[in-house]
Amino acid sequence: MSSEDVVGKSTGETTVNTIVNNLAEEAKLATQGVKAPGHAILSVCKSLVAGGVAGGVSRTAVAPLERLKILLQVQNPHNIKYNGTIQGLKYIWNTEGFRGLFKGNGTNCARIVPNSAVKFYSYEQAASGILWLYQRQTGNEDAELTPVLRLGAGACAGIIAMSATYPMDMVRGRITVQTSKSPHQYTGMFHALSTIYRHEGFRALYKGWLPSVIGVVPYVGLNFAVYESLKDWMVKTNPYRIVENNELSVTMRLACGAAAGTVGQTVAYPLDVIRRRMQMTGWKGASASIVTGDGKNKGLVEYNGMIDAFRKTVRNEGFGALYKGLVPNSVKVVPSIALAFVSYEIVKDILGVEMKISA
C-alpha cells in the first residue's frame, strides 16, 4: 500500500470520525435539553404560530360582542340607540346586516394574530428568565414560579405585545365604529393607517397608548397568573379527582381560562374605555352617534391626556361610564381568553413543541 493510500485512508477515517462525533455531541446536547440552533429557530417559529392561531380563533369566535363593546364604549350619551347586549346586537343586525356584526374583525385578526404570537412567546421567555433569577436568588434550583412572579412575566409580555401592535389596535377601533355617515370611509387596515397618518400625524397612531400599557399590566398579567396558578393548584391537589395522569382535560383548562379572563378584564376595563375614547379624538366631523358629548353640547370632546379623559368622562357621564360595554365584554372575555389559552396549548402539542408556559 502506497503512502498516498495510507494518507487517503487516514483522512477518510478522520472525516467519518468527525461526523460521528458531531452527531453524538448533538444527540448528547438534545438529551440534556440543549437544542441545536436550527431546532431552536424552528421551535420559536412553532411557538409564534401557535400563539397566532390561538389569537385568531379566540377573537373571531367573539367578534360580534367585541364590536358591540367598542360601540357602547364610545356611544354619545345624548344619542343613545341601545343599552343592552341583545338590543345592541339586534340594532347592528337590522341596520348593517350579518356583515355588520363582524365589521373590523379582519383588521382585528391582523392585529391580534401577531399580538397573540408575541404575547405568548414573550411570556414564556420572561417566565424562564424570571424563574432563573429567582432560583439563583433563593439558591433553590427546584424553585417554581409563584403567582406574583407569573404576574410579572405576564405584565412584561403584555407590554411588549401591546407596544409592538398598537397602531393596528388604533386602526381597528376606528374601522369598528365607522358608519355610512362617518367622514372617512376606511376601506381596510392599510388605508386607515395611511389616512390617519396624513390627516392627524404619526402620534395619532399611538393615541391612548399610555392607558393601554397601564391597563395591560393587570389584564395580561392576571390572565397568565390566574390561569397558570389554577392549573398548578388543580394538578397538585386534584380536587374531586378531576386530574388524570397529571393532565387537565380541555374542559377544565377552559374553566381556568374563563376564570382568568373574568378577573383580568374586571380590573383593567376602565382603562380600556379611556383608551378607546382617546383613540376617537381627532376624528373630525365624526358621526354624533359615535363620539361623546361634554354634558352641555353634542360636540366632540378633546382630551389632553389620560387623567383628563378620566376626569371628563366621570364628570360628564358618571362613574358608571367607565364600565360601559362591560356586559358584552364579560360575555366575550370568558370564551375568548379560555379559547386562546387552550388553542395555544393544543396547537403547540400538535406541532410537537415542548410546553414551557408552566415552567
> 198 and 114, same structural domain?
yes
Report the candidate in 134, 123, 129, 154 with the shortest Cα–Cα distance to residue 50.
123
> 145 and 87, same structural domain?
no
> 110 and 78, same structural domain?
no
pTM: 0.69
* Per-residue pLDDT reduced to its tens digit, 218-238: 889 999 999 999 999 998 888
Q: Which domain holds residue 119?
A: 106-177+180-206
> 153 and 191, same structural domain?
yes
> 111 and 45, same structural domain?
no
Is the residue at 144 inside a domain?
Answer: yes
Residue 57 CB partners (closer than 8 Å, separation 6+): 339, 340, 343
Residue 134 DSSP one-character state: H
Q: What is the mean pLDDT of residues 320-346?
A: 85
Q: Give the position of cell 378633546.
A: 302
Cβ atoms of 211 and 162 within 8 Å: the answer is: no
> 129 and 161, same structural domain?
yes
Is the residue at 311 inside a domain?
Answer: no
Alpha helices in the chain (DSSP H): 3-31, 37-61, 63-74, 85-101, 105-138, 147-177, 189-200, 209-237, 250-280, 306-317, 326-351
The DSSP-derived string for 268-311 is HHHHHHHHHHHHHTT-TT--TTTSPP-SS-SSPPP-SSHHHHHH
Cβ atoms of 76 and 291 within 8 Å: the answer is: yes
What pLDDT score was predicted for residue 128? 93
Reported as a pLDDT band with limits 50, 70 and 90, residue 134 is very high
Domain boundary among 206, 221, 245: 206
> 147 and 136, same structural domain?
yes
> 187 and 96, same structural domain?
no
Lookup: cell for 115: 399580538
* Per-residue pLDDT reduced to its tens digit, 243-285: 887 788 888 999 999 999 888 888 888 988 888 888 776 655 4
> 110 and 50, same structural domain?
no
> 65 and 147, same structural domain?
no
> 194 and 152, same structural domain?
yes
Is the residue at 243 inside a domain?
Answer: no
Q: How many domains does the chain have?
A: 2
